[in-house]
Each structure stands twice: as C-alpha cells, then as structure tokens.
Amino acid sequence: MAREKWGSKLGIILAVAGSAIGLGNFLRFPVQAARNGGGAFMIPYFIALLLLGLPLIWVEWTIGRFGGGFGHSTAPGMFHSMWEKNKFIKYFGVIGIFGPIVIFVYYIYIESWLLGYSFFALFGKYNACTTRETMTAFLRGYQGLAQNEHFSGIAPAYLFYLAAFAINIFIIWFGVSKGIERACEWALPILFIFAVVLAVRVLTLGSPDPAKPENNVINGLGYLWNPQWAKLTNAKVWLAAAGQIFFTLSCGIGVILTYASYLRKQDDVALSGLTAAGTNELAEVILGGSIVIPAAFVFFGPTEIGKIAAAGPFDLGFVTMPLVLQKMVFGNILGFMWFMLLFLAGITSSISLAQPAVAFLEDEFNLSKKKASMVLAGVTFALTQPAIFFIGNGVVDELDFWGGTFCLVLFGTIEAILFAWVFGMERAWTEMHAGSDITIPRVYRFIIKYITPVFLLLVLGFWFYQEGIDFILLKGAEKGNIPYIIATRLMLVVFFVVLSYMVWRAWKRRATPTTGVGANQYNQSNVGRGNQ
C-alpha cells in the first residue's frame, strides 16, 4: 500500500497551522493573558515560545519525517525506529495516540456547539437574551443541563453533534491530501477573513455610553496588555505561559509527528515548522488579542471585565461575545462570523486529533483509509457519549485533565529526552537540516539538548505538585460527581491498555523488523545541510 503524501508545501503548513489554530487562540489566550499580568504575561509567554515551543516544533517535525521514512506515522513506530534496541520505548509512544483521541472525544462535542450557535446567531434565536443571566440560561438549556423556555432537552445539541461528527469523519475518509489538506486550504483563509473583519469592527468601536467615555477600545487593549510587573514573581504565571504555548502550538500531542510523517525525505522541516508556528502566533497574539477582551471592555466596562475574564473561556465565548455582538449593527451576521470562525478553527484541530489513530491502523494493521476511518468513527462515537450525557458530572474536566494536560506535558518531555539524548544531538541536528532552506541558529543545539528538557521537567514537576496531586486525589470534587469521575478513569485505563495491546500485536505480527540496517541507510541518505 503506497504511503500518502502532502500535495504541496503550502498544504502541509496550512494543515499544521490548522491543527494549532483552535479555540485556544481566540478564547483561552486572551483569558490567560488577562488573568496573569496582562502585558507582563507576554514575557514568560515569548520565553516559553523560544525555549519550549520552537524547539519542540522542530523536534516533532524532524521525528515525524524520520519515522515516516520507515513507514510509521505514529509515535510507537517512530520511537522504536529511533531507539531500536529498547523493546519498551514503543509503549511510551502509545501516549501519542491515546492523548489525541481522549481530547477528540470531548473537543468534537464542544466544536458542535459552535456549529449550532452559528445557526442560532444567523437566525436570531438568542436575540431575546439581553443579560448574562439569560444568555447563560440559554447555554445551559442547549447543553441539556437545564430545561427552560429555550430548550426542553438535549436533542438540538445532539443533532448538531451528529452533524459535526459526520463532517469530521467525511474529511478524514478522503485522506491526507484530498481530505485534510483541502479542508485546511478552504477553512484557514475563511477563518482569517472572519477574524480580521471582527478585529477591525472591534477596534473601530466607539464608547456606547457617552456618560462613560472611559469604556473604549484603547482602555480595553490596555486592560489586556498593560503589564502588571508584580505578577512575574508568581510561578503560576510562568506555568500558565508554558501551558499556553503547549496548547497553542499543538506540541506534545502527537499530531505533528503524524502530519510530518507524510513528508518526503528532502522536504524542509526547519522552515516549515517555523512558518506554521508563525501563522499560529499571528492568529493568537494579533487577532485573538484584538477581539474578545477589548470588545467586552467597551460594553461592560472595567468593573465587570475582571469578572468576565475570571469566568473562563467558555463563558467568554458563549455568553459574553453573543451579548456584545448583538449590540452592534448587523449583530446577527457578526455573531455568525464569530461562531463560524471558531467552528472552522475547531474542525481543523479535531481532524488532526483523529489522524494519528487512523494512521496507526493503516500502518500497523494494513487497513485501508476507509476501514480505518470507520473503526475510528465507531470507537470515538462510543467514547463521546459519556462526555455528552454526563457533562455536568465532571466527565469533560476529567478527559481534559488526562488528555489535554497530563499526557500533553508528559509526552513532550519524553520526546525531548529521546530526541536529544537517545537519538543523539549530532544525528538529530543533521536530520533536522536535511533539505532545509534555512539554518537554525546553533544556540538551539544547546537549547534542545539541555534547556528544553529541563524546562519541561520543571513544568511537569511544578504543575504536578501545585495542581496534579489534588486533582488525582479528587480534592475539591463534588461528592455526587465522584462515581462518574472514577468510571471515566476506568474507561481511560481500559482504553490505554487496549491500545498498548494493539501495539504489542502489531509488532508481534511483523515478520521482519523495520529498523536496524534500514535505519542506518536512511540516516546516511538523508544527510542535510546542517553543521555536524
């Protein structure tokens, strides 16, 4: 079976950028910045980008292309190819399939809300909601957490979930170049157009209340960007910045590994990784920082904006922004653009989350793209149901913790150590520059080998000490939610064991190894332009 390849260099850049550009750019980032020191937050943010984000981007692109040379598109095979003498390293790679699927099974449901709200905005279904209380009631009714005058059950939300789920599987069904690449080539430009239109509209807002001229865009930008220097002494601010870089660049998930595996031997990974990261930062810092918080400040003022930021990204996206946009001329159209840009950002991310599992079934069990897509559809559809029907019982928070936080940081740490210390920095640097149009500054040899692994270990340790232990021990969990949380954890343990068993079966059924001499031949034929 011939391996898939990307249709163009632009296609892979847009696909990786699409994976990274998601809800975190437009919702999570402004909330994190506002909560953690405003402009001061950008200091640890950019330090984390330079010392953590970019190194991991280059590491993952390089590992992915290297593993693809052996016919592997997922972490188990790639890790085995990098450290062929270790029989157990491939099981660490299971995290690179497990994590994305866990995120997928709740992310796609949230993504479906955006599709539903796009139609609600266009047809004015929530126009009668003019306060935060009534808009919150609208959201809770839609989620099935309450029955009210807006919704009497979960049926509307479930129908939009089915539609979003079908769109995702439809795209994945057509493969890398005809499905994912084409979807991103259409979705990313539309997303950026909508974001620019909304940013321009927000930045040209006047104060809606003549009696409160201080409620203006300039002060709104100031609220987000004026530095609170004292916050820099707080370790949680640095952890928040590092976490945001992880989320925003899709590092440590396993998606970039899979996407990069479809590159050819001499395809550039250094410049492509840098370009994809730059595209994501444009969406996050410039556009994401210019829409939500400034708009909310204009209409709600300095007193309420702190409460709004503290309420979190979901409240900001589904409660505050609809209220803000419907106060503007053509509010329904602007509301549609807001939710549709988030839906497009969501879908380019969710299809990337599904791809590692599909690629694993194709590579290791010789399933066709369509059969692998159907297996994925059946498994993820079943796993999503607890997130839908028990969303009020802590299930989504549990999935987000293990898939979107713990696995993400742990997997990134494993990748960094394996790449720099086991694969070897000399070999890694050469591999990284194979076919490259740029030369990465030599200082990154030191950063990738020493700074990034230490940074990751510190982030993992501090995060685990400050938040992880309490979460694992269920401290603060509502008593009525504990049975649901325990059941979710058991479900995840079973799923991880099943994936590990599948990896074991895949290697057992191999008649001959795919590494050894082949690895040496690949390395020798792929010597690039980097300094050795």
Name the residue ranges covered by the structural domains of the chain. 45-177+236-274+331-525
Separation of alpha carbons 466 and 56, rounded Å: 24
pLDDT the model gives residue 476 = 85
Which of 402, 382, 391, 393 has the alpha carbon at shortest distance from 489? 402
Helices 95-122 & 482-508, crossing angle to 10 degrees?
130
3-state secondary structure of 150: coil
Separation of alpha carbons 52 and 454, rounded Å: 10
Query: From residue 70, how far is each of 59, 77, 421, 522 by CA, in Å?
Result: 17, 8, 21, 8
128 within 8 A of 362, measured Cβ to Cβ: no
Query: From residue 460, how far is each of 75, 243, 472 by CA, in Å?
Result: 20, 10, 14
Which 8-state DSSP code applies to residue 481?
G
Separation of alpha carbons 488 and 494, rounded Å: 10
What tokens were used for 66? 């290297």
Give, for 465, the enclosing helix (H) or strand (E).
none
Q: Alpha-carbon Rg of the chain, whole angstroms?
A: 23
pLDDT the model gives residue 532 = 31
Separation of alpha carbons 468 and 477, rounded Å: 13
Q: Which residues lie below 8 Å from residue 105, measured CB to CB, with a gap of 6+?
A: 380, 383, 384, 387, 399
Backbone phi, then psi, for 355, in 5-degree steps? -65, -40
3-state secondary structure of 442: coil
- DSSP states of 215-265: -SHHHHHHHHHS--GGGGG-HHHHHHHHHHHHHHHTTTSSHHHHHHTTS-T
Which of 320, 110, 121, 41 has the alpha carbon at shortest distance from 202? 320
Separation of alpha carbons 11 and 215, rounded Å: 42
Where does residue 443 fall: left (phi above 0), alpha (psi -120 to 50 degrees), or beta otherwise?
alpha
pLDDT the model gives residue 1 = 58
3-state secondary structure of 135: helix
- pLDDT tens track, the chain, 532 positions: 567 889 888 888 889 999 999 888 998 899 888 888 888 999 999 999 999 999 999 999 999 999 999 999 999 999 999 999 999 999 999 999 999 999 999 999 999 999 999 999 999 999 999 999 999 999 999 999 988 889 988 999 999 999 999 999 999 999 999 999 999 999 999 999 999 999 999 999 988 878 888 889 999 999 888 898 998 988 788 888 888 898 889 888 899 999 999 998 889 999 999 999 999 999 999 999 999 999 999 998 888 888 888 888 888 899 999 999 999 999 999 999 999 999 999 999 999 999 999 999 999 999 999 999 999 999 999 999 999 999 999 999 999 989 988 898 899 999 999 999 999 999 999 999 999 989 999 999 999 999 999 988 988 888 788 778 888 899 888 999 999 999 999 999 999 999 999 999 999 987 555 444 444 444 444 433 333 3
3-state secondary structure of 266: coil
103 within 8 A of 354, measured Cβ to Cβ: no
* Sequence-ordered alpha helix ranges (H) in 390-463: 395-401, 407-417, 425-433, 443-446, 452-463
